[in-house]
Amino acid sequence: MLIKKFSKKYIIALVVIVALIAIAVVGLYPVKVACKVPGNTCVAAPDSNGLIYISYDVEPLFVREIEKRTHEDFPFRYKGGTDTSRVFPDPDPDPLTLEVIE
């Protein structure tokens, strides 16, 4: 009888530990957040080359969820950087790289 109760408690404890580890792994999944805070806008006017720059952070999923609910930047991230996007066509295209469309 004692062995059956012990094994049942052991299985329950093992399931709880596995569930906590799974929650921790999912919470640490890296997510790219534009403008450093979810829902924030930080796009500036394009520069003379037609490029816009958007700052981003790569943060754990649980940090993004905290920031989404508090609307504040939580100071924990894996890395940060800036993305560039072209808004206008290249003002001075290189003729060697142009594609001919027929």
Going by pLDDT thresholds of 50, 70 and 90, the confidence category of residue 16 is: very high
pLDDT at 24 over 80: yes
pTM for the model? 0.63
pLDDT average, residue stretch 45-64: 86
Contact 73, 37 (CB under 8 A): yes
pLDDT at 71 over 90: no
The whole-angstrom distance between residue 89's C-alpha and the CA centroid of its chain comes to 29
pLDDT at 66 over 80: yes
Contacts of 41 (CB under 8 A, 6+ apart): 35
